[in-house]
Structure 1
C-alpha cells in the first residue's frame, strides 16, 4: 500500500500482520480522493480519520495538503503501526493520534470545540459502529458547516439516507466496497 499523490507520493505504508485491519484498496482510495478533489480543496483542511488503522486515508489527505489530521484508532497494536506510518511520512507535527474508543474520542473532540472539513470513517464491515458513529459525528457538531463525512462500507449494506443531522449526498460502489458521502442537512 502506497501513498497515491502529493508530497509523499509513492511512499510505502506499513500494515499490521493478520486480519486486524482492512486497508482501503489503492483504486478505491484514488477514486475517493478524486471525488473529494472535485468538491473541495484539501489545502489547509482539517481532517478526521475514524477507525484509522494504518492511517492511509488521513496520510493521503495530509500528502495532498491538508493542514491537520486527527487519527482515531482504539487497537494499541494497530496504533503502533499508525504511529510508524505518520512518523515515516514526516507528518507528526500535523497529526494527532487518539488511542480511544471511537465514541469517547468523538466526545473528547467535541468538548474541545473541534470541527473538521473532511471526516473518514472506515470500520470493519461487520462493525456495530455503523449504527452509532455517523450519528455522533453530526450530533456532536464535529463537521464544519460545509464538511463531509465519508463512510466506507460493504456495498451490500448501504447506510440510511438520513443519519441524525446528516443526509447522504452521494454513494459510489467499487466491487464489494461502497463509499457513502454525508453532509449536514442544512449545508
Structure 2
C-alpha cells in the first residue's frame, strides 16, 4: 500500500499503476526524504516538478506538505491516468499532470513558464541510463529558481548521476536498494 505520509492529506492511500511499469518510492524513503526537505525549507510554498512521476506519490507528498504548485510529468499512459486519479481523489490545490516524456516537457514552453522550479524530484525507471539522465539534468538546469533543490532517486547499484558542471556536490543517502541524491543550488541553474 502506498500512502501520503504527512501534511494535509497525510495517511490517505494512493493507487499504483497496474503492471510493472513503475517502481513506487517506499513510504519509508519518502518519509526520510521529505523530513530532510522540510527541515531545509524546500517544500512549503515551492513550485515542484516531479519528473517520471509514476503514481504521483512524490509530487503529491510535496503538495500535501504545502507546495504552491506541483506538476507531475509521466510518459506511461496508465501511470499518468493513475496520477490524475490520485490527484483528483486527494483534491490538493495547484496539482496538474502532464502525460509526456520528461525530455519533451523540459524542452517545451510549459516547463519554462513562471519563476523557475524550486524543487525538482527526478525518479526515473532504473532502465533509464546515465547518459539519458545526464541529458535531462542538463536541460533542467536553466529552468531552476535561485536556491533550487534537485533530488534524484536511483538504484544503490547505480553510479552518482552526472550533474551539470556548475552544480555543487550532491549529498547521498542510501536506503537499502535505493539511493537518494540531493543537490542544493546557490543560484539559477547552479
**Shared fold by TM > 0.5?**
yes
Cα distance in 2 for residues equivalent to 1:3 and 1:110: 26
CA RMSD of aligned residues (A): 1.7
> 1:160 Cα deviation (Å)?
4.4
Quick one: which of 126, 134, 137 aligns to 2:137? 134
Q: Are positions 1:6 and 2:17 aligned together?
A: no
Residues 135 and 166 of structure 1 are in contact (CA less than 8 Å); yes or no, is this contact kept in structure 2? no
Cα distance in 1 for residues equivalent to 2:164 and 2:107: 18
**Residue 159 of structure 2 aligns with which residue?**
158
Cα distance in 1 for residues equivalent to 2:126 and 2:161: 15
> 1:110 Cα deviation (Å)?
4.3
Cα distance in 2 for residues equivalent to 1:74 and 1:60: 20
Gaps of 5+ in 1: none
Cα distance in 1 for residues equivalent to 2:120 and 2:47: 9
**Residue 100 of structure 1 aligns with which residue?**
100
- Give 4+ residue runs of structure 1 displaced > 4 Å after superposition: none
> 1:31 Cα deviation (Å)?
0.6
> 1:76 Cα deviation (Å)?
1.2
Gaps of 5+ in 2: none
Alignment of 1:77-88 (within 5 A): 77-88=78-89
> 1:7 Cα deviation (Å)?
0.5
Q: Are positions 1:15 and 2:36 aligned together?
A: no
Residues 165 and 185 of structure 1 are in contact (CA less than 8 Å); yes or no, is this contact kept in structure 2? no
Deviations 1:37-67 (A, max 9, x none): 1211522111000000000000000000111
After TM superposition, the score normalised by the length of structure 2 is 0.89
Cα distance in 1 for residues equivalent to 2:168 and 2:139: 13
**Residue 51 of structure 2 aligns with which residue?**
50
**Residue 76 of structure 2 aligns with which residue?**
75
Residues 16 and 78 of structure 1 are in contact (CA less than 8 Å); yes or no, is this contact kept in structure 2? yes
